[in-house]
Amino acid sequence: MIDRWLPAAASGHASSLDAVLLSVHAHMLLIFVAWLALFIIALIKFRKGANPEPREHGIKGTIAAVAIGAVIVGDVIILATQALPAWAARNEPPPFDSARGRPSGAQPIEIHIAAEQFAWNIHYPGPDRVFARTSPALVSASNPVGIDRSDAAAADDIGLLNVLMLPLNRTAVIQLTSRDVIHSFTLNEMRVKQDATPGMTSRIWLTPIATGDWEIACSQLCGLGHYRMRGEYHVVDQGAWDQWLADQRSTLSPR
């Protein structure tokens, strides 16, 4: 229902997040109508015509106390039965092979992303799954991530500027940080939004369930160039993913 007004829902957790959004709006509507009714009742009941003299002690009643008590109990129930379980499920680590014996095809891909004014630096470890050393001193136009090519693990590492590739139906684990100010890494169709904070690494994960070409946005006003802090991301099927990896590898030349 609510997805009519939202971008395409293209990740495994998108529909559950949309359901939360709908639920919150439904509850807010309910509260709005209840407060409106209370407001109208008060306007009529305490009109000047019916109450010519102010009362020294105001009004007394148990209904108000019961209503406030019910709200508190309701909040606790929602927190305990919905919010906390949902939070725990969302934070559960993705199914890594070694821990749960999944087939190797289901291995999540790991990506490091460093935000900066005003770009996204994206680092893939390559087939060896080991991230090479990076250094700010090595950052250049041809090496946006600052990969240290003298590192033994660097031979297959891929560093990209503002381009994120994701394979279909495979969990991607992203370690996110920032080089300068706070940014917010946003993939609307994946229902992903996470602050990138300098000096801190945030871990997020997602599983794309539809192919497509979309935009990476920064959702935190991060400076004068905030408006142009855009990247692109593509979800591709396995064949296109393998081809892309092969293409990247062929452009890597040892230095």
How far apart (Å, rounded) are the C-alpha atoms in residues 134 and 144?
10
Q: What are phi and psi of 20, to 5 degrees?
A: -65, -45
115, two tokens: 């935000």
With binding defined as CB under 5 A, does residue 158 bind Cu ion? no
Q: Which is nearer to Cu ion, 32 or 227 (CB)?
A: 227
223, two tokens: 């400076």
161, two tokens: 């500027």
Q: Residue 121 CB, nearest distance to Cu ion (Å)?
A: 12
Q: Residue 37 CB, nearest distance to Cu ion (Å)?
A: 43
Q: Residue 194 CB, nearest distance to Cu ion (Å)?
A: 12
Q: Are 123 and 138 in contact (CB under 8 A)?
A: no
Q: For residue 92, with 0-12 CB atoms within 10 Å meaning exposed, 13-18 middle and 19 or more buried, which class applies?
A: exposed
Candidates 176-184, 187-195, 201-209, 235-243; binding stretch for Cu ion (CB under 5 A): 176-184
Q: Which is nearer to Cu ion, 123 or 183 (CB)?
A: 183
Q: Residue 7 CB, nearest distance to Cu ion (Å)?
A: 19
Tell me which amino acid residue 57 is.
Answer: H
With binding defined as CB under 5 A, does residue 222 bind Cu ion? yes
With binding defined as CB under 5 A, does residue 113 bind Cu ion? no
Q: Are 196 and 178 in contact (CB under 8 A)?
A: yes
With binding defined as CB under 5 A, does residue 218 bind Cu ion? yes
- Which stretches of 162-255 are DSSP H helices? 238-251
Closest CA to 196 of 181, 180, 177, 179: 177
> Measuring CA to CA, how many Å separate 142 from each of 116, 159, 167, 176, 243?
16, 9, 24, 21, 22
Q: Which is nearer to Cu ion, 218 or 236 (CB)?
A: 218
Q: Residue 140 CB, nearest distance to Cu ion (Å)?
A: 21
Q: Which is nearer to Cu ion, 187 or 222 (CB)?
A: 222
The residue from 113, 229, 235, 236 that contacts Cu ion (CB under 5 A) is 229
Number of residues located near Cu ion, criterion CB under 5 A: 4
Q: Which is nearer to Cu ion, 9 or 229 (CB)?
A: 229
Binding mask 120-149 for Cu ion (x = CB under 5 A): ------------------------------
Q: Which is nearer to Cu ion, 149 or 179 (CB)?
A: 179
- Cis omega (within 30 of 0) for bond into 118: yes
| SS3 label, residue 82 | helix
Q: Residue 115 CB, nearest distance to Cu ion (Å)?
A: 6
The residue from 112, 123, 183, 191 that contacts Cu ion (CB under 5 A) is 183
What residues line the site for Cu ion (CB under 5 A)?
A: 183, 218, 222, 229
